């Protein structure tokens, strides 16, 4: 059984107390034999959730050599955790000016800003952010990468732009595949769904992608709804989806209203100062799973008139999380319960930054820099590192195959373990 070498001094009590064992059970003893680390570029990197999943922290043989984001706070956070090689600025200008040489890399990862495709964007028809996949592929070409991973909202797949991305990648010599992945299927305590497009120059990525699920969605009897698992890998049944209880039950009540200079996890475990009206609304819907419709039924006098007029949709608005289900998708304003199901299952308050970071599967010791608003954006926009780690399994196997680092029997075994 191998040992994960931490480049960040993480507390594995939450992230890896079960997933490490699950991951070990899927992997052969030779999985992380001595070898060179693969070079990685992360574009539109944000805080670096995707890079973290591809790093040694999650047992992966990748090393980030260059990164880019437009936001200075994201760049500061990335450089604090991965080393000073994130260049802050507009990627289009960086490429046009030609003052910065793009280093050579084995793989390029990243998520061009997704608001252009998001259903939340009412002006998405003419949104220029839909075009940022073009400089992304230019970096892929300049770096000489033989694999790329592009992450985005699920609404991207099937669009005209999706077709353009595939066509452009094929013109560069890539074979392309795509899937929608649910983070909870890979041990993240959150039902976040994201689209992943994978391109590979030397093999058909559809043979290995999507990565094999590690956790299952239980029905009322606790049985798997689907069985994309090899029964030999598990003594009984594979583990269930991680839940809100798994992620945050050990945390005390939050203190203060600002980021605190105390050790994690309490540094980001702070609250807000809601109005008395907001407090009354929280108390009016005390049971987990309740939402704005319950508030209107129980206390119409406390319900905003705009919610009363809106008869349908938005069932997650002003909703409480469930203890024994995964969190809903964490967005950038998770601290505002009027934006989604972001009320604590029991306490009369919204979730904290630390709780949101755990729902995203960030280890407690990952360092976020910036104001509390900027940190919230970094958390909400991130690719869950644990999901990224399972995508990295596929990339690692493809590159190992390319460089002849497996015997034939090892390769066959790894293919079975990585893909159902």
End-to-end Cα separation, the chain, in angstroms: 23
Contact by Cβ (8 Å): 304, 296: no
Please tell me the predicted confidence (pLDDT) of residue 419.
54
pLDDT at 237 over 80: no
Read off the pLDDT band of 21 (50, 70, 90): very low
> Among residues 211, 247, 205, 239, which one has the least CA distance to residue 53?
211
Residue predicted with more confidence, 330 or 12: 330
Instruction: Provide the angle, in degrees to the nearest 10, between the axes of the packed helices 385-402 and 408-418.
Output: 160
Read off the pLDDT band of 416 (50, 70, 90): low
Lowest model confidence (mean pLDDT) among 120-124, 163-167, 206-210, 328-332: 120-124
d(CA 221, CA 158): 35
Listed by start position, the domains of the chain span: 12-233+384-418, 250-381
User: How high is the mean pLDDT of the chain?
Assistant: 85
- Average pLDDT score over residue span 356-371: 98
Please tell me the predicted confidence (pLDDT) of residue 391.
97
Please tell me the predicted confidence (pLDDT) of residue 235.
44
- Average pLDDT score over residue span 339-360: 98
Contact by Cβ (8 Å): 161, 133: yes
pLDDT at 412 over 70: no
Lowest model confidence (mean pLDDT) among 128-137, 256-265, 299-308, 335-344: 128-137
> Is 200 a residue of the active site?
no
Contact by Cβ (8 Å): 61, 162: no
Please tell me the predicted confidence (pLDDT) of residue 370.
98
Read off the pLDDT band of 18 (50, 70, 90): very low
Looking at domain 250-381, its CATH superfamily turns out to be: DNA Methylase, subunit A, domain 2 (3.90.120.10)
Q: Is 203 left (phi over 0), alpha (psi -120 to 50) or beta?
A: beta
Please tell me the predicted confidence (pLDDT) of residue 236.
55
Q: How far is CA 325 from CA 190, 191, 242, 292, in A?
A: 8, 9, 7, 19
- Average pLDDT score over residue span 194-205: 97
| 12-233+384-418 CATH fold | Rossmann fold (3.40.50)
d(CA 21, CA 15): 11
Dihedral sign, Cα of residue 236, residue 238, residue 244, residue 246: positive
pLDDT at 218 over 70: yes
DSSP secondary structure letters along 202-226: SS-GGGT-SPPP-SB-B-TTS-BSS
pLDDT at 196 over 50: yes
- Widest CA span of the chain, in angstroms? 70
Using DSSP, state whether 304 is helix, strand or coil.
Answer: coil
Phi then psi dihedrals of residue 202, to 5 deg = -115, 0
- Average pLDDT score over residue span 68-82: 98
Contact by Cβ (8 Å): 199, 407: no
Which residue in the list 114, 200, 306, 418 is annotated as catalytic?
114
Strands (E), 94-222: 107-110, 147-152, 175-182, 193-200
Beta partners for 238? none
Contact by Cβ (8 Å): 272, 257: yes
Cβ-in-10-Å burial (0-12, 13-18, 19+) of 44 comes to buried
Which residues are CB-neighbours of 177 under 8 A, at least 6 positions away?
A: 197, 198, 204, 205, 206, 209
pLDDT at 307 over 60: yes
Please tell me the predicted confidence (pLDDT) of residue 272.
95
């Amino acid at each position: 059984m191998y040992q994960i070498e931490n480049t960040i001094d993480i507390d594995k009590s939450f992230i890896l107390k079960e997933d490490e064992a699950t991951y070990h059970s899927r992997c052969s003893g030779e999985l992380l034999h001595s070898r060179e680390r693969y070079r990685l570029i992360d574009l539109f990197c944000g805080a670096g959730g995707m890079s973290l999943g591809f790093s040694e922290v999650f047992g992966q043989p990748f090393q980030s050599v260059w990164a880019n984001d437009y936001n200075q706070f994201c760049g500061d956070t990335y450089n604090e955790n991965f080393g000073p090689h994130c260049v802050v600025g507009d990627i289009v200008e960086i490429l046009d000016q030609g003052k910065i040489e793009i280093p050579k890399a084995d793989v390029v990862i990243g998520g061009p800003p997704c608001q252009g495709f998001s259903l939340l964007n009412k002006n998405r028809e003419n949104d220029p952010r839909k075009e940022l996949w073009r400089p992304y592929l230019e970096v892929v070409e300049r770096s000489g990468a033989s694999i790329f991973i592009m992450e985005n909202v699920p609404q991207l797949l099937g669009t005209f732009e999706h077709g353009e991305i595939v066509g452009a990648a094929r013109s560069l010599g890539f074979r392309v595949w795509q899937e929608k992945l649910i983070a909870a299927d890979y041990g993240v305590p959150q039902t976040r769904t994201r689209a992943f497009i994978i391109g590979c120059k030397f093999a058909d990525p559809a043979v290995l992608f999507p990565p094999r699920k590690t956790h299952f969605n239980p029905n009322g009897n606790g049985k798997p709804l689907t069985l994309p698992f090899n029964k030999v890998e598990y003594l009984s049944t594979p583990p269930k989806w991680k839940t809100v209880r798994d992620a945050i039950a050990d945390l005390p009540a939050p203190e203060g209203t600002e980021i605190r200079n105390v050790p994690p996890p309490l540094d980001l475990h702070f609250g807000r100062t809601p109005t008395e009206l907001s407090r009354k609304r929280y108390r009016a819907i005390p049971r987990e799973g309740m939402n704005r419709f319950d508030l209107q039924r129980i206390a119409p006098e406390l319900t905003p008139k705009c919610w009363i007029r809106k008869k349908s949709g938005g069932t997650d608005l002003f909703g409480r999380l469930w203890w024994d289900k995964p969190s809903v998708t964490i967005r950038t304003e998770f601290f505002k319960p009027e934006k989604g199901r972001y009320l604590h299952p029991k306490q009369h308050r919204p979730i904290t930054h630390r709780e949101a970071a755990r729902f995203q599967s960030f280890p407690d010791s990952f360092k976020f820099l910036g104001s509390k608003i900027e940190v919230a954006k970094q958390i909400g926009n991130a690719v869950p590192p644990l999901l990224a780690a399972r995508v990295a399994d596929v990339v690692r196997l493809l590159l190992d195959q390319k460089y002849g680092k497996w015997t034939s029997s090892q390769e066959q075994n790894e293919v079975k373990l990585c893909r159902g």
